[in-house]
């Protein structure tokens, strides 16, 4: 299973599942990252953490740890 932290800069992926639980899962869902949402990885910090993504027309910064719980498939 591929997760968002493994998607390269400039590529798009569709969310298939949120793997976490509790408050972290709720936080991800509240940001608009839900099943079927297309996410584009825009930038990565020099050491790879955090990453900047485009979701539903707005920009988000996600830590790699948070991106690891978002299962995706390439678009």
CATH code, domain with 66: 2.30.30.90
DSSP tag of 8: P
State how far Cα 29 lies from the chain centre: 11
CA-nearest of 26, 20, 9, 11 to 71 is 20
54's CB contacts (< 8 A; 6+ apart) are: 39, 40, 42, 60
30's CB contacts (< 8 A; 6+ apart) are: none
For the chain, how many structural domains are there in total? 1
Q: What is the model's pTM?
A: 0.86
Task: Give the domain extent around 22.
Answer: 2-74
Query: How do residues 10-61 score in pLDDT, each as one tens digit?
Result: 999 999 999 988 999 999 999 999 999 999 999 999 887 899 999 999 999 9
């Amino acid at each position: 299973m591929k997760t968002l932290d493994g998607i390269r800069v400039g590529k798009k992926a569709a969310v298939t599942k949120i793997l976490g639980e509790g408050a972290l899962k709720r936080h991800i869902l509240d940001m608009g990252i839900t099943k079927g949402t297309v996410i584009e990885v825009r930038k990565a910090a020099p050491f790879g953490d955090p990453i900047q993504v485009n979701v539903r027309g707005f920009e988000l910064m996600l830590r790699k740890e948070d991106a690891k719980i978002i299962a995706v498939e390439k678009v």
